[in-house]
Copies of this chain bind each other. A is one copy, B any other.
Amino acid sequence: MQEAVALRVGLLGFGTVGSSFAEVLAATGADVRITRIFNRDVERKKSHERAKFVGAEVKWTSDATEVVTAEDVDVVVEVIGGLEPIEGWLTTAIHAGKHIVTANKQLIAYRGATLLALAAEKKVHLLYNAAVAGGVPVIPGITQGLSGDKITRISGILNGTCNFILSAMEKGAEYADVLKTAQSLGYAEANPSADVDGFDARAKLCVLSRLALRAELNPDEVPAQTISTVAAIDFAYAKELGCTLRQVSRAEVAGGKVHARVGPMLVPKEMPIAWSHDTQNMVVTSGEFGGDVVFSGHGAGGHPTAVAVTSDVLRIAAGAAAVRFPATASSVDGDVTAPHYIRFVVADQPGIVAAIAGALAKYNVNIDSLLQHRGYAAEKLPFVVTTEPCLRSTLERAVAEIAALEYMLEAPLVLQILTSDDHATD
């Protein structure tokens, strides 16, 4: 016979996070019990090494509807991922009066507005602390601790895989090699596009924008630049400029617009963003009254992510009120006024610098410095131009003209140089 518990959990997904959740929840000793577990082809999950952390009376099923509408489930914990068929299952669960805890950033980024409105209507919780920065409590920090401030900007290292790759490249590794290492360690997927091309980080940035900037964004509108074109030489030049390179996600409210962008950027060594190493995540919020607040830690991994999921479940168990912050639907302006770094690779010949300088001047982009390391062959010569603050879209038009010059061997790489006082266009 099963005694009454304060809260009963129906678990969707028994993979990395799901099985870690079972372990972390058991360790809390809280009066919360997993009553049902759904996974496709569930039989093999019963012999999972972490199956021992759930009680013998748990009902395992390969039919999600047996969980989302079950009498003996108060909270549905979703740790599968993706939009479909998840959205449908969770919608059914909310209609059935179940609270929801999820780690699914894509779902919350793309369908969050609808689901949150439905949850509010049905007076249930929809909590998703694990969806951004895994074990780092950025979402409770913003929603509970900084709700009194007017946050105008968020900058973050939101993808641990990219941070692992770029911080290894900082120490001398080549992109292709470190990507392979990341794949063999399980940090990167066989198809790494979601991580390296910025789609994962962009979804998280939109989740944070909703909470911190109160702006509802369409993730697809946020420009995402890949880190896959960053090379060892860029780290060498960045170092010379007192910087390192990180995949940075940034959103800022200025002049009534939301400026947002994800991609590799040059980060001055003294900025907190430069301190993240390996798979660490970091979020810096900038508030009108409270100034900059930094959160950092393990953004991923089964256990840290399960801590966030478990903390959400405990909040519901404690009877937390369903606090909502209104967010306004906003369009994204992907443009930014900032200093930039441009790396060219050319077949050297007289007149190149003049041609580049001329093209930049035509668009009123001022050159700040011109860097060229020795020891490269003239047939394939990399060199770097840094600019004074300029509008990225203007710069890209100038660079497009330069890219068309016959002696350009590669597409020029344009990267924003982060400064603490750079500002969005307005």
Contact = CB atoms under 8 A, between A and B. Distances in A.
- Interchain residue pairs A-B with the least CB separation, the first 10: A137-B145, A148-B310, A140-B144, A293-B297, A140-B145, A135-B290, A319-B321, A290-B307, A148-B311, A318-B323
A36 interface: no
Contact of A315 (B23, B135, B147, B298): B147
Name, among A24, A139, A312, A319, the residue most crowded by chain B CB atoms within 10 Å (CB to CB). Answer: A24
Given A141-B141, A149-B307, 9 more contacts: A24-B149, A24-B289, A135-B287, A146-B311, A147-B314, A275-B275, A290-B297, A319-B321, A320-B321
Contacts of A291: 135, 297-298, 303-304
A311 B311 CA distance: 20
A213 interface: no
A223 to B, nearest CB: 29
A296 B273 CA distance: 12
Contacts of A140: 137, 140-141, 144-145
Contacts of A292: 297-298
A308 B148 CA distance: 7
A169 interface: no
Interface of A: 20, 23-25, 27-28, 129, 135-142, 144-150, 272, 275, 287-298, 303-304, 306-315, 318-321, 323-324
Contacts of A297: 290-294
A141 B296 CA distance: 11
A279 to B, nearest CB: 11
11 contacts: A25-B148, A27-B288, A129-B145, A135-B290, A135-B291, A139-B145, A144-B144, A145-B308, A146-B311, A293-B297, A321-B321
B304 A290 contact: yes
A284 to B, nearest CB: 9
A145 B323 CA distance: 15
B289 A306 contact: yes
Nearest to A144: B140
Given A144-B140, A144-B315, A321-B320, A27 B306 contact: no
A321 B321 CA distance: 6
A298 B289 CA distance: 10
Name, among A140, A312, A324, the residue most crowded by chain B CB atoms within 10 Å (CB to CB). Answer: A140
A373 B145 CA distance: 47
A141 B145 contact: yes
Contact of A293 (B137, B146, B150): B137
Contacts of A306: 148, 289
Contacts of A321: 318-321
Contacts of A27: 150, 288-289
Contacts of A24: 148-149, 289
A27 B319 CA distance: 29
Given A141-B137, A141-B141, A145-B139, A287 B307 contact: yes
A264 to B, nearest CB: 23
A150 B307 CA distance: 9
B307 A289 contact: yes
Given A291-B135, A294-B295, A311 B150 contact: no
A146 B288 CA distance: 27
Name, among A289, A295, A309, the residue most crowded by chain B CB atoms within 10 Å (CB to CB). Answer: A289
